[in-house]
Structure 1
Amino acid sequence: MIDLHGAELEELIQAEKKQVAFEYHNEAWADGISDGIEAEILAETAITTALTELIRLHGEDDVLTMVESLRQRIEFGEFRSDRTIQ
């Protein structure tokens, strides 16, 4: 029997929600591509929609901090499709 404490259970729930959201996003992306929408357009609108919602929820300062973190992750190559994990 698995005994999970509140924080561990919450972490598992959040991970599951992220996985489901990822699957929804991939499905919407595939639908857009199959409808002839270019990947660049899908990406830009996804980023714009996400930033708009995050600013609504958390404010510009917090989102700017997040964007700077994303910038660093991009610079480190985290999002490259050809990166290798060692």
Structure 2
Amino acid sequence: MIDLQGAELDDVIAAEKKQVAFEYHNEAWADGISDGIEAEILAETAISTALTELVRLHGEAEVLEFVKELQQRVEFGEFRAIELLQ
């Protein structure tokens, strides 16, 4: 029998951890910008650090699949900046 309540709780905990991680990254990003580091440099180093850790944890083959999925997400516009109409 599957423990749905436990699985749901795990999903909630994971979502909360992602939100906190997002906040940490935003704070570090803002600090870097305040210190005069260009956004492009921050972005490239963040991606490099993330990929290095993912390869360490999951291996190159799995990370290559993840990168392919990222390519599709970029092509579908998932990461486009939201433009507000004025």
Fold conserved between structures, TM > 0.5: yes
2:80 partner amino acid: R
Matches of 1:51 and 1:82, distance apart in 2: 25
The 8 Å contact of residues 33 and 39 in structure 1, kept in 2 or not, is answered as: yes
Q: SS of the counterpart of 1:5?
A: helix
1:74 partner amino acid: V
Equivalences for residues 12-27 of structure 1 within 5 A:
12-27=12-27
- What do residues 1-50 of structure 1 show as CA deviations (whole Å, max 9, x unaligned)? xxx71000000000000000000000000000000000000000000000
What is the aligned residue count? 81
Equivalences for residues 1-80 of structure 1 within 5 A:
5-80=5-80
Say what the alpha-carbon RMSD is for the aligned residues. 1.4
Question: Normalized against structure 1, the TM-score is what?
Answer: 0.90
Q: SS of the counterpart of 1:80?
A: coil
- Provide the identity percentage: 77
Matches of 1:69 and 1:49, distance apart in 2: 18
Query: Where in structure 1 are there 5+ consecutive unaligned residues?
Result: none
- What do residues 30-78 of structure 1 show as CA deviations (whole Å, max 9, x unaligned)? 0000000000000000000000000000000000000000000000000
Matches of 1:68 and 1:17, distance apart in 2: 25
Question: Normalized against structure 2, the TM-score is what?
Answer: 0.90
Q: Which 4+ residue blocks in structure 1 deviate beyond 4 angstroms? A: none
Query: Where in structure 2 are there 5+ consecutive unaligned residues?
Result: none
